[in-house]
């Protein structure tokens, strides 16, 4: 069993308030939830134009977890092009 964590740093240049930011993040959370992952805003909650997301999945092996997280990252890029500024994957065994 593998638990994989995708940490995503986002920049939201058009956001003018926390409400604007939450609307974008809610749309992302709703869409990537279809990949059977858990999503939470874990950093920069008080900043308007930055967000840190933690996305977690559980799989039988590293390849399965990596595939799911790659699909999630691709979906985020498709929904909001240019939003992701950095990402990192960690595996827990």
pLDDT of residue 33: 86
pLDDT of residue 91: 94
pLDDT of residue 80: 86
Topology (CATH level 3) of domain 2-92 = Alpha-Beta Plaits (3.30.70)
Arithmetic mean of pLDDT, 75-93 = 91
Model confidence pLDDT, tens digit, residues 6-57: 999 999 998 899 999 999 999 999 999 899 899 999 999 889 899 999 999 9
Which residues have CB under 8 Å from 59's CB, separation 6+?
Answer: 1, 2, 4, 65, 68
Give the pTM.
0.89
pLDDT of residue 39: 95
Please tell me the distance from the alpha carbon of residue 89 to that of residue 93, in angstroms, as a whole number: 13
């Amino acid at each position: 069993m593998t638990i994989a964590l995708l940490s995503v740093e986002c920049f939201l240049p058009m956001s003018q308030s926390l409400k604007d930011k939450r609307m974008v993040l809610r749309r992302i959370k709703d869409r990537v939830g279809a990949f059977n992952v858990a999503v939470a805003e874990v950093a920069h909650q008080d900043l308007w134009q930055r967000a840190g997301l933690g996305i977690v999945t559980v799989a039988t092996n590293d390849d399965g977890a990596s595939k799911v997280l790659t699909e999630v990252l691709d979906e985020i890029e498709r929904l909001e092009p240019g939003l992701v500024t950095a990402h990192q994957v960690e595996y827990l065994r």
